[in-house]
Amino acid sequence: MTAQGSGGTVGWSARAIAAAVRAGEVSAEQVVSDHLHMVTSREDELLAWAYLDPDAAVAAAAAIDRDPGSAGPLAGVPLGVKDVFDVEGMPTANGADIPADGPAGGDAAVVARLRAAGAIPFGKTVTTEFALFRPGPTTNPHDPTRTPGGSSSGSAAAVGAGSVPLAIATQTAGSVVRPAAFCGIVGGKPTFGAVPRDGLTLCSSTLDTIGLFGRSVADVALGLGVMAADRAGFTAAELDRRARLGFSRTFEWDELEPTTRTAIEAAVERIARDVEVVEVDLPVEMQGMATAHRAVMDVEVVDHLAAVRARHGALLSPELRRRLDAGEGWRWAYEAALAHARVGRDHLDTVFADVDALLAPAVLGEAPSIETTGDPLLCRQWTLLGTPAVAVPGLTGPAGLPLGVQIVAPIGRDDLALGAAELVEGLLSS
């Protein structure tokens, strides 16, 4: 394998890059050079990066090239890091207007694991203010007038534009699945707690989950396995035509745009030609989970940002200050919301009793205007429950923009989520 064409290694999968670098078929420096050129060629319009360190990336690549045969499973793979994680030598600004305290003195746990596996951080990708809902400057790689989604906007846009093969994200409400769907890429949100959060600026201790964007399920599975230090648990289960998938319209089906409902139903019909698909009605005990999620999230955001608010309140956006004020009003519902989540988890065995995984809607419609980040409604339930969820592309809306579906599996069965996602990925692209 050799780098060919004007884009060189741009467009290669993370797996292909790593295999070629380890085999000495292409240098890590060439990979980095190709992708840095892609970054600069798109950045004026995309605005995906909050901080770039090309010199550090080139130096890391040179170190790998001195002994490529001993490099890890992500040897030479360019990486974007959402700007809520610490990366040694880089500031962590959290998408806020508050001056950073200076460069981080070390890597967040997931960054350290990815770096040890050979991945090369290019810099920090744009996030919304403290990973919440104020839109950042990043545009959708398919239409600059549309949002890439939030809060992992820069990471999703960078992968969607081909600037990097992998980028780290987080999901507190829907910020892995939703941006992946809007940008036409794969987004993997693992089981809650599977990936360590050391070195991450938290919004919600109950909800914050670290995920990953890539252009294929296989790449995301590889990266998540490294991040979780559990390659076996994140190896996609080999599902074939004997698989049984559930199709859940969820309680929010009527909230979807009619064209999105039609697109999802057509996708289910296409999948059902090759794999058994059965409709699954969620237990009534799981109704209202999205509202419970909102209560948990909003109260915990107030608590996690209390010190920042006390010290830098005047530098917070009016939108965030209003959000924090409103969050105080959810305290009466907080304990009941946590109890409701426990009840929902107790009923997951019923949901997955006869299916390997669920296919469910991911977004209400195509990416809306750049003035918003889109609605995370369809992700809230699964985030609160802590299940693994994988956004899979392959659908389009009336404007020709990407839509995604999400594959959900039982808690702790990330292998099933990834296996079913890989199966659906292949069927929707065939």
The correct answer on CATH 3.40.50.150 for the domain covering 16-227 is no
Give the distance between the most distant pair of CA atoms in the chain.
Answer: 61
Which residues, including other chains, have CB under 8 Å from residue 236's CB and lie 6 or more apart? 217, 218, 221, 415, 418, 419, 421, 422
**Which pair of structure tokens corresponds to residue 5?**
């064409």
Helix (H, G, I), strand (E, B) or coil at 57: helix
Contact 111, 168 (CB under 8 A): yes
Give the model's pLDDT for residue 2.
38
Give the model's pLDDT for residue 423.
97
- The two beta strands, 244-247 and 276-279, are parallel
Q: How many residues in total does the chain contain?
A: 430
CA distances in angstroms from 38 to 11, 51, 179, 384, 396, listed in the order given: 10, 16, 20, 37, 25
CA distances in angstroms from 321 to 129, 228, 306, 307, 328, listed in the order given: 11, 34, 11, 13, 11
Q: CA–CA separation, 96 vs 245, rounded Å?
A: 42
Query: Would you please indicate which residues are annotated as catalytic (active-site) residues?
Result: 82, 151, 175
Give the model's pLDDT for residue 133.
87
Helix (H, G, I), strand (E, B) or coil at 357: strand
**Which pair of structure tokens corresponds to residue 62?**
């040179």
Domain range annotation of the chain: 16-227
Give the model's pLDDT for residue 3.
42
Q: CA–CA separation, 422 vs 94, rounded Å?
A: 32
DSSP H stretches of helix in 313-363: 318-328, 334-346, 348-351
Give the model's pLDDT for residue 241.
73
- Model confidence over 391-429: pLDDT tens digits? 999 999 999 999 999 999 999 999 999 999 999 999 999
* Residues 176-205 as b or e (16 or more Cβ within 10 Å = b): bbbbbbbbbbbbbbbbbebbbbebbbbbbe
Give the model's pLDDT for residue 7.
67
Give the model's pLDDT for residue 220.
98
- Model confidence over 288-307: pLDDT tens digits? 999 999 999 999 999 999 99
**Which pair of structure tokens corresponds to residue 74?**
């992500």
> Facing residues of 245 across strands?
277, 357
**Parts of the chain with a pLDDT under 70:** 1-7
